[in-house]
Amino acid sequence: MRKNIVAGNWKMNNDLAATRTLISELESQVKTSSAEMMIAPTFTNLLEASKLLKESNIEVIAQNMHFAENGAYTGEISATMLKSIGVSTVILGHSERREYFNEDDAILKQKVEAALENNMRIVFCFGEKLEDRKSGNHFNVVENQIKNSLFHLETESWKSIVLAYEPVWAIGTGETASPDQAQEMHQFIRGLVNTKYDDLVSENISILYGGSVKPANAKEIFSNPDVDGGLIGGAALNAESFMAIVNAF
Ligand code: PGA
């Protein structure tokens, strides 16, 4: 059975004090939930967050990492560094990384390999831009993003992959894909994985939706059969709204 997951991507928000406060608010509101919870604080606060949440069922994950193990890559962080502070899941391929930091499918393929070599779990993001959706090219774009970075993997590696469909036009814009648009794309993605691999892989892969998920729309989006959770940006910066989204399951 695939897992339901709600992950909060804090992006470049929250200094150390704000990180501590938000974590303690989240901890005080966590109930037993039918969804796995993850939060992705910024790099400087990962160690503190992973210490604070060591005994909790909220997993602390990273927003990005480099593909190299170490070396002359100023400003970068490696998988082994993340593992050494207790972080073993990483978001890769977020559209902001693709857009502002020129991460393309080939770079992401290397990052995926590095994460897997280090026994890390990956939340792999992809999604089309507005012009792709308008021109009806969205299925092609998504197919290529997945194929180019993930379809070289062995079946076994898919146990460590979570997919996150995030239409770029819905991220931080307040505009959400309709539940039907989300379901249509998620079903397409599961079908792609099924064609390349098998039922076991496609039925067990969690596919999250991201893009302006809020307490008001979470239930409707999550009720789709192929939507297994959400990657939440803005609404994850507030404990009440994040927990309301988690509790939408
Ligand atoms: P948003 O961000 O919820 O603020 O739209 C989602 C994301 O970027 O993962």
pLDDT at 177: 87
Q: Is the CB of 93 under 6 A from ligand 1?
A: no
Start-to-end Cα distance in the chain: 15
Each residue of 64-114: pLDDT tens digit? 999 999 999 999 999 999 999 999 999 999 999 999 999 999 999 999 999
CB neighbours of residue 215 within 10 Å: 17
Task: Please indicate whether residue 166 is annotated as part of the active site.
Answer: yes
Candidates 5, 6, 9: which one to mutate for ligand 1, based on the most atoms within 8 Å of Cβ?
Answer: 9
Q: What is the model's pTM?
A: 0.97
Q: What are phi and psi of 80, to 5 degrees?
A: -65, -35
pLDDT at 174: 78
Q: Are 82 and 64 in contact (CB under 8 A)?
A: no
Q: In the chain, where do the E strands start and end?
A: 5-9, 36-40, 58-60, 89-92, 121-126, 161-165, 207-210, 229-232
Q: Is the CB of 234 under 6 A from ligand 1?
A: yes
pLDDT at 33 over 90: no
What's the CA dihedral at 68, 102, 59, 29 to 10 degrees? 160
